[in-house]
Amino acid sequence: MQRHILALIFLVVLLGITPNSALAEESLPNIILLMGDDHGWDETGYNGHPHLKTPVLDEMAAQGLRLDRFYSAHSSCSPTRGSVMTGRHPNRYGTFTPNRSIRPEEITIAQLLKQRGYVCGHFGKWHLGPVKSDSPTSPGNLGFDQWLSHDNFFELNPVLSKNGGTPKAISGESSEIIVAAANRFIARAKRQGKPFFVVIWFGSPHEPYSGLPEDLKRYDDVPELYNDKTFRLTSNETGRPTTRPLGDILRERFAEITAMDRSIGTLRDYLEAKNLRTNTLLWYCGDNGTPGDGIITSPFRGHKGQVYDGGIRVPGVIEWPAGITKAQISQVNSVTSDILPTLCELTQTALPNRPLDGISLTRLWDGTLTQRPTPIYFWQFNTNADQQREPWIQQQLQIGTTPLVKMMGDIYTRNFINHQHPNIVESDFTGDRVVLLQNYKLVITGNGDKQKTELFRVPDDVAEEENIAREQTDVVQSMSTKLLRWQQSVLKSLSGQDYR
């Protein structure tokens, strides 16, 4: 017996096997992250929407792990996407708002899994910098082997860049297009015998809206219910703002969500046909809450761009037949920053050696995580007060190439910025911010004389209507102290100290 043990030790040393590689590639789960663009919590059938048809997401929620208290790290897109890639709050690396890039020094989940033996592909919306090949923050330079991507969002017949090349138009429904490309990538990974990490970030249902005739037809009854109101959004014809009847807008928005849902079904069917579904983890979520033109049925206060639950609470569903063997509904507070730590633990991959804001959720699988042990912090940086404007990345590398319908100024593309922030000043601590800890949510909005402090008891006060800050001063003080300590850590990261 001793000779066998010695022989095994010799083999381990000879082959260079480390504890991190003890989990064989053949047993590593395949991983697919899916994200809707501007898809809020209530806009699914399983959360009780009165009009929307989302049979695929409903089935995933019924069979897998439904995260009922899942949040986006920010109330807008680029910052939240950065949190998925890094496990860190976006303010740590200057991704304060949409069209602010990530920093190339960040360590992404794609880079970590690539080192673990995964082949990595990105499909759809990127919005963390230009997708062109020479961008230091392109998918390729942040860990992805292949990508078919857009700098921002896209509609029917999207113009996408393949592996950083010249953008080309592709005819068809956009969700179907990127899922078909992802399926081809998965097929190659299967032939190579490699585990795959795939990120599919849909362009839907972000405005301006459009839909296939068969999807629009499902919602023909919606206009008459809501056309007594109007809303201002982007025109598909001009790329400029226009005002339209709300019911017509909703009909198109719902059609986009249904098409996205159907494409997720196409992906699941493909995995089933290739005998890959059992050991593939699918994780769906939104990137922020519903915008004002779609939030007609939400039980929450606020909308996209705000730190109330209407702006940051999103659908969250994990399906993994091999690992999540029975349906579960979790009420534990969780956030997009948790994705990286969860996947690292799942694949026995070492975490980056720098401050993280997410935690692993793997103990939700067996029900041993019943309450989040740490707060979730939200913070919309006060960019209006920020005077530090030295670029982190050369501006020519931040110029986007993929066109979209919605104009910004006089261009149909998007350019990015990210600024150096060597000096920490008093105004850096301002901006709307939140602490979500167990049964309380502290919300601080406004600045200076207009600053307002609210405390809500959650999840009882779903609509965040009853401010109990005056009755619970000790709770406010304790949470405020935690918030300040966390902000100090974030600003230290923002100054670049994590990279030294």
CATH number at residue 187: 3.40.720.10
For residue 398, give the DSSP letter: G
pTM for the structure as a whole: 0.94
Q: Is the CB of residue 156 less than 8 Å from the CB of residue 174?
A: yes
* Chosen domain end from 313, 343, 375: 375
Average pLDDT over residues 217-230: 97
Can you give the pLDDT at residue 13?
Answer: 33
Clarify whether residues 342 and 250 are in a common domain.
Answer: yes
Structural domains in the chain (count): 2
Do residues 257 and 36 lie in contact, with contact meaning Cβ atoms separated by under 8 Å?
yes
- pLDDT number for residue 443: 98
- How far is it, in rounded angstroms, from Cα 490 to Cα 330? 29
Asked if residues 102 and 178 have their Cβ atoms less than 8 Å apart, the reply is: no
pLDDT digits (tens, 9 = 90+) for 135-185: 999 999 999 999 999 999 999 999 999 999 999 999 999 999 999 999 999
Task: Give residue-wise pLDDT tens across range 230-276.
Answer: 999 999 999 999 999 999 999 999 999 999 999 999 999 999 999 99
Same structural domain, 348 and 383: no
In-domain check, residue 9:
no
- What gap in Å lies between CA 100 and CA 361, rounded to an integer? 28
Neighbours of 451 (CB within 10 A): 11
Tokens of 190: 């299967």
Arithmetic mean of pLDDT, 392-419: 97
Please state the rounded mean pLDDT for residues 337-356. 98
- Is the pLDDT at 294 greater than 60? The verdict is yes
- Mean pLDDT along residues 402-424: 96
Domain membership flag for residue 207: yes
pLDDT value at residue 296? 87
Residue 329 burial class via C-beta count within 10 angstroms: exposed 0-12, middle 13-18, buried 19 and up: exposed
Which of 375, 404, 435 is a domain's end point? 375
Model confidence band, residue 19 (pLDDT cutoffs 50, 70, 90): very low
Instruction: Give the model's pLDDT for residue 448.
Output: 87
- Residues 259, 193 share a domain: yes
Q: Report the pLDDT averaged over residues 378-393.
A: 96
Q: Are residues 369 and 431 in the same domain?
A: no
- pLDDT mean over 347-365: 97
Residue pair 428/386 in contact by the 8 Å Cβ criterion: yes
Q: Would you say residue 6 has pLDDT above 90?
A: no
Does some domain include residue 302? yes
Q: Residue 4 class from Cβ within 10 Å (0-12 exposed, 13-18 middle, 19+ buried)?
A: exposed
336 & 450 share domain: no
Show the domain range for 127: 26-375
Spatial neighbors of 34 by CB under 8 A, at least 6 apart, are: 200, 201, 202, 264, 267, 282, 283, 284, 285
Taking 60 as the threshold, does the pLDDT of residue 10 lie above it? Answer: no
pLDDT of amino acid 261: 98
Same domain? 119 vs 160: yes
Q: Is the pLDDT of residue 11 over 80?
A: no
| Collapsed DSSP state (helix, strand, coil) of residue 483 | helix
Answer yes or no: do 330 and 428 share one domain. Answer: no
Nearest to 307 by CA among 454, 186, 443, 459: 443
| Gyration radius from the chain CA atoms | 22
Check the CA dihedral 437-72-431-102 and report its sign.
positive
pLDDT value of residue 25: 62
Give domain status of residue 229, yes or no. Answer: yes
Say if 401 falls within a structural domain.
no
- Specify the pLDDT at position 3: 37
| Cα–Cα dist 46/59, whole Å | 9
Residue 415 covered by a domain:
no
Give the CATH number of the domain where residue 430 resides.
3.30.1120.10
Q: Does the structure show a pLDDT above 90 at 134?
A: yes
In a domain? residue 142? yes
Residues 210 and 295 in one domain: yes
Where is the domain boundary, 375, 408, 432?
A: 375
Contact 34, 264 (CB under 8 A): yes
Phi, psi of 249 (to 5 degrees): -65, -45
Residues 332 and 436 reside in one and the same domain: no
Residues 334 and 383 in one domain: no
Question: Does residue 176 sit within a domain?
Answer: yes
Res 344: pLDDT? 98
Residues 257 and 343 in one domain: yes
The answer to whether 206 and 404 have CB atoms below 8 angstroms apart is no
Mean pLDDT for the chain? Answer: 94
15 pLDDT band, cuts 50/70/90, is very low
Residues 105 and 214 reside in one and the same domain: yes
Residue 5 has pLDDT above 90, yes or no: no
